[in-house]
């Protein structure tokens, strides 16, 4: 800042400085409010359109029957079942690995170590990889390498695991959502006061006992939030599972982990692009979109509720 600018600032009256600050506060509030209104308006348009065209389609029959008559009638039960099954398998695979990685990076790894920095860079880069690339990775690694290798070893070359399947789709989605869990867990661990760790160590606990009994319980709300957000993303992604397990249409439910499955997101894509009669499938399409939106919103709402309850419990309010 130049000498003239500094002199000008010094000669301003308190009223002028307060007015400038007030104008800045108002401008920031107006800009932030306008951005929030724009987001809410877009959300309202999307929800309104889905509810208007698909709300009447929701019924018990729609939830618990399979598509019929070229997917122009019937329900979405196979797609709903496949989505839930894939998300559960993905969660079982990603949460332990993501939490363990975050605990190592924050509690054990030297902060300035070259390996630690390399792992953090890898996690950041992994979060920015397009989802379709994860699908190609899943096809090459899980299906053609792991699955085909298992077939050669255990099934004499007969194709059992070396094909797109529910298990490979779930593991591919676990790799996709792994950075979300790692970053959320690290932030939760960083929020735990260092004094709690030092008090535990001073009382004779080992570092492992401190992490398990002191740090992780305090970080549970943040870990659960990251987990639910990862689940929400996994439930809506389609590109990675196109190569690793999802099917165009299946009249029956998958009976094992090496079978293909239907998925809500892919079902929406099929109804909107592959149907011979788009007008006939439009009610079913909008109903499926509405179910997927509801599922995503419920998962995010669950994250908020669980985090709030865990925080009250840890603070002794509940």
**pLDDT of 37 higher than 70:** yes
- CATH number, domain with residue 286: 1.10.3720.10
Considering only CA atoms, which of 81, 40, 98 is closest in space to residue 250? Answer: 81
Residues in the chain: 318
Most confident of 231-235, 284-288, 295-299: 284-288
Neighbours of 97 (CB within 10 A): 14
Which has more confidence, 260 or 119? 260
On whether residue 4 sits in a domain, the answer given is no
pLDDT given at position 41: 94
Total number of domains in the chain: 2
**136 in a domain, yes or no?**
yes
Is 260 in the same domain as 226? yes
d(CA 149, CA 14): 76
41 shares a domain with 128: no
Model-wide pTM > 0.85: no
Average pLDDT, the chain: 85
pLDDT beyond 90 at 167: yes
Q: Tell me which residue of 109, 93, 108 sits closest to 181, measured CA to CA.
A: 93
Residues 68 and 28 in one domain: no
Beta-carbon contacts of residue 234 (< 8 Å; ≥ 6 apart): 86, 87, 90, 91, 173, 176, 177
Residues 104 and 178 in one domain: yes
**What's residue 317's pLDDT?**
44
- Residue 149 in domain: yes
164 is a domain residue: yes
Q: What's the sign of the alpha-carbon dihedral 31, 33, 35, 37?
A: negative
**Contact 185/216 with Cβ under 8 angstroms?**
no
* Closest C-alpha to 253, from 134, 7, 78: 78
Instruction: Tell me, yes or no, whether 139 and 217 share the same domain.
Output: yes
pLDDT of 2:
53
The answer to the question of residue 2 being in a domain is no
Same domain, 64 and 47: no
For residue 1, tell me if it sits in a domain: no
Per-residue model confidence (pLDDT) at position 222? 83
Residue 139 is predicted with a pLDDT of: 94
Instruction: Determine, yes or no, domain membership for 3.
Output: no
Residue 25's Cβ-side half-sphere holds a number of Cα atoms within 13 Å equal to 6
Percent of the chain with pLDDT over 90: 33
- pLDDT, position 8: 54
Higher local confidence (pLDDT), 250 or 35:
35
45/158 same-domain check: no
Q: What is the mean predicted confidence (pLDDT) over 184-196?
A: 90
Query: Tokens for 181?
Result: 């869990």
- Mark whether 102 and 238 lie in a shared domain: yes
Domain identity same for 218 and 293:
yes
pLDDT of 292 > 70? The answer is: yes
pLDDT above 90: residue 5? no
Residue 111 shares a structural domain with residue 259 = yes
Is the pLDDT assigned to residue 184 strictly greater than 60? Answer: yes
Q: Which residues pair with 73 in a beta bridge?
A: 68
Name the pLDDT band for 11 (thresholds 50, 70, 90).
low
Q: Please indicate, yes or no, whether residues 121 and 70 belong to a single structural domain of this protein.
A: yes
- pLDDT value at residue 128: 85
Please give the average per-residue pLDDT across 169-178, as a whole number.
94
* 318 — pLDDT class (breaks 50, 70, 90): very low
User: Quick one: pLDDT at residue 315?
Assistant: 67
pLDDT at 276 over 90: no
pLDDT tens profile 67-112: 887 777 888 899 999 998 999 999 999 999 999 999 999 888 887 7
**123 and 171 share a domain?**
yes
Q: Which domain, by its residues, includes 38? A: 13-51
Q: In this predicted model, what pLDDT tens digit does every residue of 117-166 receive, in sequence order?
A: 888 888 888 888 899 999 999 999 999 999 999 999 998 888 889 999 99
Percentage of residues of the chain with pLDDT beyond 70: 94
Answer yes or no: are the C-beta atoms of 43 and 275 closer than 8 Å: no
At residue 42, the pLDDT reads: 93
Let me know if residue 195 belongs to a domain. yes
> Torsion over CA of 299, 302, 229 and 111, rounded to 10 degrees?
-160
Confidence of residue 9 (pLDDT cuts 50, 70, 90): low
**CA distance between the termini of the chain:** 53
pLDDT higher than threshold 90 for residue 47? no
């Amino acid at each position: 800042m130049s000498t003239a600018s500094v002199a000008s600032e010094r000669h301003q009256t308190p009223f002028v400085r307060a007015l400038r600050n007030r104008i800045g506060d108002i401008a920031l509030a107006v800009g932030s409010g306008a951005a929030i209104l724009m987001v809410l308006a877009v959300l309202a348009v999307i929800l309104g359109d889905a509810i208007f065209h698909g709300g009447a389609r929701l019924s018990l029959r729609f939830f618990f029957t399979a598509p019929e008559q070229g997917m122009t009638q019937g329900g979405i039960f196979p797609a709903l079942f496949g989505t839930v099954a894939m998300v559960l398998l993905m969660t079982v695979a990603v949460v332990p690995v993501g939490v363990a990685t975050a605990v190592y990076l924050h509690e054990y790894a030297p902060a300035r170590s070259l390996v630690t920095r390399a792992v953090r860079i890898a996690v950041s880069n992994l979060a920015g990889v397009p989802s379709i690339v994860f699908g190609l990775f899943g096809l090459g690694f899980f299906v053609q390498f792991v699955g085909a290798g298992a077939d050669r070893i255990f099934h004499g070359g007969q194709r059992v695991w070396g094909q797109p399947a529910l298990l490979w789709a779930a593991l591919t989605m676990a790799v996709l959502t792994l950075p979300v869990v790692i970053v959320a867990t690290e932030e939760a661990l960083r929020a735990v006061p260092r004094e709690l760790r030092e008090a535990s160590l001073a009382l004779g606990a080992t570092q492992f006992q401190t992490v398990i009994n002191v740090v992780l319980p305090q970080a549970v709300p943040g870990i659960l939030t990251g987990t639910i957000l990862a689940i929400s993303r996994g439930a809506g992604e389609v590109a990675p599972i196109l190569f690793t397990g999802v099917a165009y249409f299946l009249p029956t439910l998958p009976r094992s982990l090496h079978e293909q499955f239907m998925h809500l997101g892919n079902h929406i894509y099929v109804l909107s692009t592959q149907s011979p009669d788009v007008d006939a499938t439009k009610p079913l399409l909008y109903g499926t979109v509405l179910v997927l939106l509801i599922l995503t919103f419920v998962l995010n709402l669950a994250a908020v509720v669980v985090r709030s309850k865990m925080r009250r419990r840890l603070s002794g309010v509940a």
